[in-house]
């Protein structure tokens, strides 16, 4: 029974990572309005009951009944704003912030296996993103930095020593494009 629960928690965590990636992909590739609308509906349907204050800060949200979808499919600004907010809330949820009481217990269990499994999944996701991004001219250098971050996080050095090494990579990341920064900076959160 414990093994089944752990597998389900991993599946759930992986689904969050996939959903964040789907949102990010949809927003960066200028998706059709209909596709943004359908993605908005799908993400809202999955997480509205799990994340406290889910719609707060999003357009066309009402605390009494949720989103007012009437006319939302014709507003790119509304959909993009809301999807960016959903992405941020899902990122927070992965790290156990802003979790309602009903979800806190299962989220604590996820947290126990989170660091290793999440880091592995996230590193794989980012590596794949970098490899598939045709606009990047320095893929090998970026992939090398990803490996370096992974090695630093796995090392037995003190937190301070790790941070000193990561800060140098952080400076390098800030000199790169926004796409690279968005992908690599969350890796620094794996520092323990």
Q: Do 24 and 37 belong to one domain?
A: yes
Same domain, 86 and 125: yes
Host domain of residue 181? 135-192
What total number of domains does the chain contain?
2
Q: How far is CA 178 from the centre of its chain?
A: 15
User: How many other C-beta atoms can be found within 10 angstroms of the C-beta atom of residue 134?
Assistant: 7
Residues 119, 53 share a domain: yes
- Whether residue 155 sits in one domain with residue 112: no
Ranges 35-44, 109-118, 125-134, 165-174: which has the least confidence: 109-118
Is residue 94's pLDDT more than 80?
A: no
Expressed in angstroms, the distance from the first to the final Cα of the chain is: 30
Q: Which of 62-66, 80-84, 92-96, 105-109 has the highest mean pLDDT?
A: 80-84
Is the per-residue pLDDT at 86 higher than 90? yes
159: part of which helix (H) or strand (E)?
helix 159-174
Q: Does 42 share its domain with 116?
A: yes
Mean pLDDT confidence for 113-120: 55
**Of 132, 159, 182, which one is at a domain's C-terminal end?**
132
Residues 89 and 153 occupy one common structural domain: no
E-state strands within 15-163 = 61-62, 66-67
| 47 and 63 assigned to the same domain | yes
In this prediction, residue 36 has a pLDDT band, given cuts at 50, 70 and 90, of very high
121 and 146 in a single domain? The answer is no
User: What is the per-residue pLDDT across 177-189, written as a single tens digit (0 to 9) for each?
Assistant: 777 877 777 777 6
- Of the two residues 125 and 58, the one the predictor is more confident about is 58
Determine the pLDDT at residue 84. Answer: 93
Both 144 and 121 in one domain: the answer is: no
Nearest to 88 by CA among 20, 29, 37: 20
Two tokens, residue 183: 């992908």
User: Is the pTM for the entire model greater than 0.75?
Assistant: no
What H or E segment, with its residue span, contains residue 76? helix 76-94
Residues 141 and 185 in one domain: yes
Across-strand partners of 61?
Answer: 67
pLDDT of residue 77: 93
* Cβ neighbours around 26 below 10 Å, total: 21
Coil, helix or strand at residue 96: coil
Lowest mean pLDDT: which of 47-61, 68-82, 111-125, 140-154?
Answer: 111-125
Q: 108 with 43, same domain?
A: yes
> What whole-number distance in Å separates Cα of residue 190 and Cα of residue 149?
10
131/25 Cα distance (integer angstroms): 14
- 8 Å CB contact between 10 and 87: no
Shared domain for 117 and 59, answered yes or no, is yes
What's the pLDDT tens digit per position in 125-147? 888 888 887 788 888 999 999 89
């Amino acid at each position: 029974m414990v093994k089944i629960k752990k597998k389900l928690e991993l599946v759930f965590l992986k689904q969050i990572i996939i959903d964040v990636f789907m949102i990010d992909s949809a927003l960066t590739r200028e998706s059709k309005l209909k596709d943004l609308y359908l993605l908005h509906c799908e993400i809202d349907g999955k997480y509205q009951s799990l994340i406290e204050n889910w719609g707060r800060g999003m357009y066309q949200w009402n605390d009494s009944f949720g989103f007012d979808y009437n006319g939302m499919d014709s507003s790119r600004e509304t959909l993009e704003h809301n999807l960016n907010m959903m992405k941020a809330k899902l990122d927070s949820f992965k790290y156990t912030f802003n979790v309602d009481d009903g979800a806190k217990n299962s989220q604590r269990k996820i947290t126990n296996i989170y660091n290793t499994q999440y880091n592995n999944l996230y590193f794989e996701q980012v590596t794949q993103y970098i490899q598939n991004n045709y606009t990047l001219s320095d893929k090998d250098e970026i992939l090398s930095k990803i490996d370096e971050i992974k090695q630093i996080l796995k090392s037995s050095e003190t937190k301070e020593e790790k941070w000193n090494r990561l800060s140098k990579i952080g400076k390098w990341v800030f000199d790169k494009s926004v796409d690279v920064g968005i992908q690599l900076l969350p890796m620094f959160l794996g520092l323990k």
